[in-house]
A and B are shown apart, each in its own frame.
Chain A
Amino acid sequence: MGNNSQVARKKAMTAQIVKLAWRNLWRNKIRTGIMLASMVFGLMGVVTMMGFLSGMYVSMIDNAIAWQTSHVQVQNKRYLEDPDINEVIVNPAALYSELDRLPQVSAYSARVVADGMVASARANRGIRINGVNVTDEAAVTPIAAHIEQGTWLPETGRYPVVVSQKTAERLRLSLGSKVVLTFSDVNKDVTGAAFRVRGIYRSPSSSFDDANLYVRQQELSKLAGVEGVHEIAVLLDASQSGDSFDNQGAELVAQALMKVSSTQNQIRDWQQVQPMLATIISQMGVSNGVILLIFVTAMGFGIINIMLMSVFERTREFGVLMAVGMVKSKVFLLILLESCLLGVTGAALGLLGSFAVIALLGQTGIPLGSMSEGLGAFGVDTTLYPVLKTGEYFGVFLIVVVASMLASLYPARQILKLRPVDAMSHKH
């Protein structure tokens, strides 16, 4: 009973100090208002910038997975070292049957790949020729939905080819134009055939567009004399693949495939296929951290300034509080709480504003305008949609509040080292 009432009294005292801290915070409404406004607008800028960067990285990663790496890829190990047309995947049937069995696999596409030349009547250039199963490829990559002119590869008709807008421009091609594809066959002899342009696509990555065209697999296999495939690209179900930065689902599928695959094959998840993506993900935390650190440091100095002014002009008042019996730990708590409440209010309002801005821009997007050409080389969409995870909002909130509290330590120390009589003799 005694303990309970003691706890209740301590709680009442703490509540009184919180009340006092809150009211002290608003003693100078203009000063507190200006500090809060700078925190709110600063946070909105920083958080939106973080969302912008995250959105850009998400766009790069999503596009890379969608167009280039898929979630998992299988190749012959020797093909990876030296992309010889003879180095096909060993025993692909076992892999197909496992892929059909795995529930998290949404689709997969087996490809025959040949590095060769594409030539029009005007020009020629080096290109990667992807021999694909028309339906499977359309299920694994978004290419069928990104045909700007004409259609995706048809199931029938002689030697259709789908080229990128960029290749079409360079070789001055239009729908129905004839191009000649040449490449080495399995005997290392040059072979090739004339194809008709049936579709022109455009992906978000200009470098990908520069390097890839699509033909039907059976025609490429026949021309090259290849039996088998060079690459299997696996796409996971959206609910299984996690968010853009999560590699776990892909790792699990890769492990399952390894169990049934020949050891001559190499099975890699998307981060292994493009280690740059893993670097981007790890860099993203660093860049966001640096932006946040700069803001928090600037904000911290602002709060130190505000707290110094606020505390020093009340030096006599603190002296009186100590004289009437307020222990130093409670005086410290009072100053800490004033700063903490400033941080909590600023962070809450700033993040609320940031959330609204990001939600709005998440709907409308930010057109990159002239920047889109340059960023297109890295696979970034022409319109960016800023994103920030809930955990990141909480993280920013926590960092701002902790920084606010740290900023009060110096002003608090200046007061606490005074004796009551010295503090009371302070004239302001």
Chain B
Amino acid sequence: MSIEISQLSKTYNQESDFPVHAVKSLDLTIEQGEFVAVMGPSGSGKTTLLNMIGGIDTPTSGSVLIDSENICELDDKALIAFRRDHVGFIFQDYSLLPVLTALENVEFVMQLQGLSEKVCRARASELLTMVGLGEQMHKVPSKLSGGQQQRVAVARALAPRPRFVMADEPTANLDAKSTSELLDIMQSLNEKEGTTFIFSTHDQRVIKRAKRVIVFEDGKLTEDKQQ
């Protein structure tokens, strides 16, 4: 499954005298199983790009083809289903539901898919064990460290067996040890399950581990290199 981005643009405040061009006429292809880092300074359009690929924001023009289907033309309902079934999200601030335990957080996204309780429980336990939280799965997020919470977020992102995972600065709030552990986990999942990972990051530790690095500046792709 590939992602083909063609002439993708996003402009904020279009009607105003000072429109902001976050992404400008971008062409990009990402193949199944890639481990891609999108880097660039703040405000360069990384997050906007990830949001449009993940179907939570709509472009001003251009297309995002996922397996030849333009997700920019999907209606609201189809877009929700697309995100639910095909995209995993990891956020900088983890964005876990604070009233649910780690296990329940992971189960919840699968329940949204309509999977049975038994299946949800088994997969959530398996994923949390895989990310090293087998002993912590019944704790609520506030009882976990930042690194542990981000690992729960990784397990949640992978729970619905997505085609690709969008991670928006996933290590921004983590220390060196937690960053290294998290990258180990994601790399291992990328290699074992063939899940595509797309990161936005400034973090050199992440960039060093990425197989492909896309450099973004002022809404434009300035460099695209394999490592």
Of A13, A27, A325, chain B has the most CB atoms within 10 Å of the CB of A325
A5 to B119, CA, bound (A): 12
State whether A320 and B91 are in contact (beta carbons under 8 Å apart), knowing that A325-B81, A421-B51 are contacts in the complex.
yes
Contact A317 B84 (CB under 8 A): no
Which residues of A80-108 are within 8 A (CB) of B? none
B residues near A, CB below 8 A?
51, 54, 56-57, 76-77, 80-81, 83-85, 89, 91, 95, 97-100, 104, 107-109, 111-117, 156, 160
Of A6, A16, A323, A424, chain B has the most CB atoms within 10 Å of the CB of A323
CB distance from A338 to the nearest CB of B (A): 11
A8 to B107, CA, bound (A): 16
A172 lies within 8 A of chain B by Cβ: no
Contact A13 B114 (CB under 8 A): yes
CB distance from A232 to the nearest CB of B (A): 71
A1-41: contact bitstring with B at CB < 8 Å (1 yes, 0 no)? 00001101110110010001001100100000000000000
CB distance from A28 to the nearest CB of B (A): 11
Contact B91 A326 (CB under 8 A): no
State whether A325 and B113 are in contact (beta carbons under 8 Å apart), knowing that A316-B95, A317-B97, A320-B91 are contacts in the complex.
yes
A324 lies within 8 A of chain B by Cβ: yes
* Contact partners of B85 in chain A: CB under 8 A: 325
A424 to B113, CA, bound (A): 21
Of B56, B104, B113, chain A has the most CB atoms within 10 Å of the CB of B56
Contact A325 B56 (CB under 8 A): no
A5 to B116, CA, bound (A): 8
In the complex formed, the residue of A with least CB distance to B107 is A16
A6 to B113, CA, bound (A): 11
A348 to B149, CA, bound (A): 38
A249-289: contact bitstring with B at CB < 8 Å (1 yes, 0 no)? 00000000000000000000000000000000000000000
A322 lies within 8 A of chain B by Cβ: yes
Contact A419 B57 (CB under 8 A): yes
* Contact partners of B95 in chain A: CB under 8 A: 316-317, 320
- Say what secondary structure dominates the interface of chain A: helix
* Contact partners of B98 in chain A: CB under 8 A: 27
Contact B56 A327 (CB under 8 A): no
* Contact partners of A27 in chain B: CB under 8 A: 98-99
Contact A420 B109 (CB under 8 A): no
CB distance from A282 to the nearest CB of B (A): 48
In the complex formed, the residue of B with least CB distance to A421 is B57
Contact B109 A324 (CB under 8 A): yes
In the complex formed, the residue of B with least CB distance to A320 is B95
* Contact partners of A420 in chain B: CB under 8 A: 56
Q: Which of B81, B100, B112, B160 contacts A13 (CB 8 A)?
A: B112
CB distance from A191 to the nearest CB of B (A): 89
Contact B56 A421 (CB under 8 A): yes
Which residues of A409-423 are within 8 A (CB) of B? 419-421
State whether A20 and B115 are in contact (beta carbons under 8 Å apart), knowing that A323-B83, A327-B77, A419-B57 are contacts in the complex.
no
Contact B99 A24 (CB under 8 A): yes
State whether A16 and B84 are in contact (beta carbons under 8 Å apart), knowing that A27-B98, A324-B89, A419-B57 are contacts in the complex.
no
A10 to B112, CA, bound (A): 9
| 13 A-B residue pairings within 8 Å (CB atoms) | A12-B111, A13-B112, A16-B104, A16-B111, A20-B108, A23-B99, A325-B80, A325-B81, A325-B109, A326-B80, A327-B77, A327-B80, A424-B91
